[in-house]
A and B are shown apart, each in its own frame.
Chain A
């Protein structure tokens, strides 16, 4: 099963709920009327797209319908798909690379979104692509976070730079960067402690890590990835905004997309904050973190019949 198949499988629940809903809305109707728009709006809301983004999408849908003089409810389906595609973009996002070694990736997020696991998978991803990887255990706060990262390090064959629990995360980052240079490492991934975006002290701490990396190496960190849990609702917008303000988030990683959660909030985030979605986690396996491809994502979300499945998968 190719990645598309996997993605499709993981999104099957989403598709089931969301697409069936849309199908049941658009089929068997004679006219495009207010009720129809309202039901579409509801379907979007249920996917965690958020009320504002949902209203905007439906509003744009109305405009398109008028412009193209559509009258058949079934045609709405393709239009809505295009609109979502427009928001998410056509391009496949790629991770920024550094001009000099190493490329420094800083991973941030609130508690429990799966930062450390994501880092493990990310390290694996880079190794698979022929890069050497070093991990930096700058989550010095949570009990056993360092151990967890070390276990991942062993699994994927990447060394871990660590201090003791409770030490200064910026110091760990500093040492890691120097170690990465000395060892001529391609990619350095810095783990940070989960923190709620509203805690100003903890956000200051994060800024310091960011600052120290930038001081030791111009342009570093080359990538600041915010990890978002797909089950998170509208609070994800607030998370994205505040982390962006603090450390200039360059991309999102959406995790836990293998449940029934729809992760629709990324649409709202992309629309409102214009942070690209770079990777998505679609399962617990080590291979289940992949670059985000908007087209694939939307295709998988909207795929309706077996034919398309065979074509792509």
Chain B
């Protein structure tokens, strides 16, 4: 991540203000400069930032520095809350029509991910018991129809098309009629990507809208979009009266300031976010988490949710007991790794941990799922006896293990040393009576330089 921690920068700013009883306007302006930098660095539109800063300023001036020992935290909290409020509103669902079929129209620029998102949305809605039909209204891009057909085939969802010689409004109308006849209660229209200044294609979208009167018109926005996001959103909203927004490609390292810009300009709720290339990678939008992300502050809630969804509770219990009774072995270590792996790519998980997200160290670590693969390979190359008695692994065993796992003796050494340290630390924590929780966090050596993870 390019961004290196708004929190740190704010702390620096406020360090200079120690001993002051109350924040003056100038102090606040200093801090807000950093906030502004952070927001613009996250691609929030410049004018949106301006408005936003003005609002924050009102709330921050006159803040009691003495009362709170951490004015930096306070400012961040204000900024964060305000961001979340602005992007928030109700956690949105697709509005269903009183009389089926419900018609959803997907619009957006080229390359934003409309076709993929169309398929993801169908998948999502089907899980809620709907019977979706996909409609190929993009007759311009080469092979766009084929792409939708392939995706529909993967999901086993019907795809309606009339080739690339029929006008899209007619395709849409015919599709809705067909859906009504055949009992599909949800019709999702995939339209052609276009520039918001393309008059002809915008008129075509309007025609589709007037022909089938969709219940939802969703703007698909690439979360990596820069300052131009406001112009795009404004243009689409003026012509089509959008009902919602879907942010795509949030699984990258973009800070996604476009979310705030688009929300501010359209006033439409952000309904879903795209988190990967797979067809189940469509998630609900959480304003809180997005605020954290824009500020580069990690996303603890998602992490906890992922942990809950993927951890096998029983196994965790057993593991905890073993840690407590100091029977923790390399076998448990591997098990724990596989638990963590289930939560998703490691770089994503680490990015969600507050403080780590913006840390420069994180870059040096080059956290990589592959590292876990090596660790697993090393441990798998040990005999069960060795796993139970890591301290007995001598030089020749180490050589064998290194060979067996395709690593080097150094790497085996490092792993064993680290495991030993972890055990020691657990013991200390245990002695301190703090329970096993803290030890767990460091179990994988997160944040330690030179660790193989």
Contact = CB atoms under 8 A, between A and B. Distances in A.
Interface of A: 13, 42, 45-48, 50-51, 110-114, 141-145, 147-148, 150-152, 165, 196-201, 229, 231-238, 256, 258-262, 265
18 contacts: A51-B41, A113-B111, A143-B147, A143-B151, A144-B147, A144-B149, A147-B142, A147-B146, A196-B251, A196-B252, A201-B369, A229-B111, A231-B109, A231-B226, A234-B226, A235-B255, A259-B197, A259-B228
Given A45-B40, A111-B249, A233 B368 contact: no
Nearest to B147: A144
B224 to A, nearest CB: 4
B237 interface: no
B224 A110 contact: yes
A236 B2 CA distance: 11
B150 interface: yes
B284 interface: no
B224 A260 contact: no
A193 B113 CA distance: 14
Interface in B214-229: 222, 224-229
A51 B143 contact: no
Contacts of B40: 45, 51
Interface residues of B, number: 51
Nearest to A49: B227
Nearest to A13: B197
Contacts of A111: 111, 113, 249, 277
Interface in B330-369: 345, 347, 368-369
A46 B47 CA distance: 9
Contacts of B441: none
Contacts of B252: 110, 196-198, 235
Contacts of B226: 48, 231-234, 236, 261, 265
A246 B317 CA distance: 41
Interface in B367-383: 368-370
Contact of A198 (B46, B253, B257, B370): B253
Contacts of A110: 224, 249, 252
Interface string B405-438: 0000000000000000000000000000000000
A49 to B, nearest CB: 9
Contact residues of B: prevailing secondary structure: loop
B110 interface: yes
Given A142-B147, A235-B255, 16 more contacts: A45-B40, A46-B46, A111-B111, A111-B249, A145-B143, A147-B147, A198-B252, A199-B251, A200-B370, A201-B369, A232-B224, A232-B225, A233-B224, A233-B257, A235-B254, A262-B227
Contact of B112 (A112, A144, A261): A112
Interface in B28-60: 37, 40-43, 45-47
A229 B109 CA distance: 11
A262 B109 CA distance: 15
Given A196-B251, A200-B369, A152 B347 contact: no
A270 to B, nearest CB: 16
B370 A42 contact: no
Given A51-B41, A144-B146, A235-B224, A42 B46 contact: yes
B158 to A, nearest CB: 16
A213 to B, nearest CB: 23
Given A112-B111, A234-B41, A148 B142 contact: yes
Q: Give the one of A45, A197, A258 with max B CB within 10 A.
A: A45
A231 B42 CA distance: 14
A119 to B, nearest CB: 12
A258 B13 CA distance: 42
A94 B70 CA distance: 55
B264 interface: no
Interface string B242-276: 00000001011111011000000000000000000
Contact of B227 (A48, A150, A197, A201): A48
Given A48-B226, A199-B345, A112 B257 contact: no
B227 A238 contact: no
Nearest to B258: A233
B111 A114 contact: yes
A144 B150 contact: yes
B301 to A, nearest CB: 21
Contacts of A165: 150
Sorted nearest first, the 4 A-B pairs with minimum C-beta distance are A233-B226, A112-B111, A233-B43, A143-B150
B142 A151 contact: yes
Contacts of A261: 226, 228
B318 interface: no
Contacts of A200: 345, 347, 368-370
Contacts of B47: 46
B227 A45 contact: yes
A27 B97 CA distance: 55
Interface string B193-209: 00111000000000000
Most buried by B among A165, A231, A237: A231
Contacts of A258: 195
A147 to B, nearest CB: 4
A196 B249 contact: yes
B174 interface: no
Contacts of A260: 196-197, 228, 231-232
B141 interface: yes
Contacts of A232: 222, 224-226
Nearest to B152: A143
Contacts of A235: 43, 224, 252-255
A227 B27 CA distance: 43
A147 B141 CA distance: 11
B22 to A, nearest CB: 27
A111 B115 CA distance: 12
A143 B46 contact: no
Contacts of B254: 233, 235, 238
Given A152-B142, A201-B369, A51 B110 contact: no
Contacts of A144: 143-144, 146-147, 149-150
